[in-house]
Amino acid sequence: MKNCPTKLLFIFITCAFLSTISLAQKNDSHITIGKKHIINSSVLQEERVIQIYTPDGYSESTQKYPVLYILDGQQYFLSGVGLLKSMRTPRAIPEMIIVGISDNEASRWTWFADKKEKFSSFLIDELIPFINSNYRTNKECIIFGWEGAAYYASELLLKHPEVFNGAILSNGGYASKDMLNAFDANKAKYLYMANSKRDIYNISYTQEFHETLKKHSPEHLIWKYDLFNDEIHESLAHLALYKGLKFYYHNYNSLVFESIQQYIDLGEMDYLKTYFKERGKRFGFDSSIDNSTKNSLIWLAWNRDNFEYFKFFVNEFKDVLKTKRYDSAYWQYRFGQFYLKHKDYTNAIKYFNAGLTKYPNSRFEKQMKEGLIEAKSKKA
């Protein structure tokens, strides 16, 4: 009987432990990224493994999306999804459907070289129609390729601009003079390629491609070539995909300037209006300057103590001052102090009064009262 409490405690602990395991198992779940499809290709006469990612909320929406096709999906599909999710946080790029096309080391060079015409037929006649039929796409296609797939993807864009809107190339790329001369597109197509001088296997070919593009770059082909010499052959692809997406969607995001001088050098208001007009036309956005850019310019002038441009932006973008962003004692105090510092006592009084009236008992109350007294005395 003396051991009874000990036995009961042991039984209790065991039951609690087993319950915890059971609960953990119920709460345990796998993180799933996308779906795997197997497509029976009559063109290639083999099965192809396809990985497909759809954006969060896809099933609840009616939106149509661009599609990023990733060659060597077995290596780079997850990188593409990870980049999309991270770049969507500041909204640098839109939501996308991502399609990874798996291959293996034994066959990839065959499909991307000797049998590339067949592989193109598979992509254009089988895979893309399958994606367009089963998913909500806006028919905008971007393709990414590394190494052998980069050589293939560059030719694919140049030969089929009616299908592909852009190509992102890492550690490879090729186009002959005749291919560039034959390039026929009625609107902008984007080509981005990246390499490193430490990629001793492919650097000479991409440099040659770069020179060919400079000499024979056709109309409607917008291209860029970057060198990242800290990378090697095996490590560049992820960075190239990131940089390539940023290049392709270069005018998707709001504008942010590093300095007032950069704003001046780029063309000031004329540049802003042109940028947002072209952005609106390309992506179906409102063509007016967005509030994010207005806010960043007002903040930049205030933060860099440029009173001349601060006054200009506040007057030019007066509508944004009525938005929720500035509905706080913080901004009334900051603006009041800024005007006071630059001896514009009328506006200093205006902001201090607004802050004290609209936001009584705020943590800036004492400073605003002191600022108001100072502004009134100096104005008098």
Query: Tens digits of per-residue pLDDT, 124-154?
Result: 999 999 999 999 999 999 999 999 999 999 9
- Which of 195, 264, 185, 240 is closest to 217 using CA atoms? 185
Q: Picking from 13-27, 89-103, 348-362, which range would have the lowest pLDDT averaged per residue?
A: 13-27
pLDDT for the residue numbered 217: 84
Is the pTM for the entire model greater than 0.85?
A: yes
Residue 258: pLDDT band (50, 70, 90) is very high
Q: What is the pLDDT of residue 9?
A: 45
Q: Which CATH class is domain 260-379?
A: mainly alpha
pLDDT above 90 for 55: yes
Distances in Å between the Cα of 211 and the Cα atoms of 103, 207, 208, 247, 359 are 31, 6, 5, 20, 62
Of 243, 262, 161, 167, the C-alpha closest to 209 is: 167
For the chain, the domains span: 35-248, 260-379
Q: What are residue 353's DSSP bridge partners?
A: none
Say whether pLDDT at 21 is over 60. no
> Across all residues in the chain, what is the average pLDDT?
91
pLDDT reading at 379 higher than 70: yes
Report angle CA 97, 102, 103 to the nearest 5 degrees.
155
Amino acid identity of residue 300, one-letter, is L
Return the residue matching tokens 């052959």: 233
Count the helices and strands in the chain (H runs, E runs): 16, 8
Lowest mean pLDDT among 213-217, 234-238, 317-321: 213-217
Exposed e or buried b per residue across 101-117, where buried means at least 16 C-beta atoms within 10 angstroms of its C-beta: bbbeeeebbebbeeebe
**Is pLDDT of 246 > 50?**
yes
162-206: per-residue pLDDT in tens?
999 999 999 999 999 999 999 999 999 999 999 999 999 999 999
Whether residue 226 is predicted with pLDDT greater than 50 in this model: the reply is: yes
For 54, other C-beta atoms within 10 Å of its C-beta total 17
Q: Which residue has the higher pLDDT, 263 or 26?
A: 263
Amino acid, single-letter form, for residue 352: F
Superfamily name and number for 35-248: Alpha/Beta hydrolase fold, catalytic domain (3.40.50.1820)
Of the listed ranges 7-11, 37-41, 246-250, 324-328, the one predicted with least confidence: 7-11
- Nearest Cα to 213, choosing from 239, 191, 240, 188? 191
Q: pLDDT at position 31, please?
A: 76
Q: How confident is the model at residue 27 (pLDDT cuts 50, 70, 90)?
A: low
Q: What is the band of 23 on the pLDDT scale with cuts at 50, 70, 90? A: very low
Provide the β-strand partners of residue 53. 98
